Amino acid sequence: MDKIILRKMKFFGYHGVFPEENKLGQRFYVDATLFFDIGPAGSNDDLEKTVNYAEAYYTIKKIVEQKQFKLIEALAEHIATSLLDTYTIINEIEIRVTKPHPPFDIHFEGVTVEIHRKRVQA
């Protein structure tokens, strides 16, 4: 299936279990892969037949920067649900949320949650 990938978007948010995370905030990275048929948009050079990735970016930005979740799993779910609800052309979606600096003394490049969701057919 065709896809549009929004890679390594950087946001500042206040997500986490610890009060310091909710108060101080930190950087988060989000990747979104949107699976759908890009053929009609490509054949017709028509923005109405695709997902406007600038709008999708701002949808994600608003969720990450204006909402607050304890778990990055919940953040990823909210992003996926919002994009699937907004863009009915999307058949499947993959969201990856990385918290590069978890608040504990472990040395690694962060923790990432990755989810894959499919549109539920009615």
* Structure confidence at residue 122 (pLDDT): 62
| Ramachandran sector of residue 45 (left: φ over 0; alpha: ψ -120 to 50; beta: rest) | left
* Structure confidence at residue 113 (pLDDT): 96
pLDDT tens for 12-55 read 999 999 999 999 999 999 999 999 999 999 999 999 999 999 99
| Ramachandran sector of residue 25 (left: φ over 0; alpha: ψ -120 to 50; beta: rest) | left
- pLDDT of 80 above 80: yes
Cα(36)–Cα(3) distance, rounded to whole angstroms? Answer: 6
Pairing mode of beta strands 92-99, 111-118 = antiparallel
pLDDT, averaged across the chain: 94
- pLDDT of 109 above 80: no
* Structure confidence at residue 26 (pLDDT): 94
**5 in helix, strand or coil?**
strand
- DSSP assignment string, 24-69: H-EEEEEEEEEES--HHHHHHT-GGGS--HHHHHHHHHHHHHH---
Cα(13)–Cα(25) distance, rounded to whole angstroms? Answer: 5
pLDDT tens for 99-108 read 988 777 777 7
Assign residue 7 the CATH number of its domain. 3.30.1130.10
Domain count, the chain: 1
In this predicted model, which residue has the larger pLDDT, 31 or 119?
31
Arithmetic mean of pLDDT, 50-67: 98
Confidence of residue 114 (pLDDT cuts 50, 70, 90): very high
How does DSSP classify residue 88? T
Domain that holds residue 66: 3-118
* Structure confidence at residue 9 (pLDDT): 98
Q: Which residues are catalytic?
A: 99
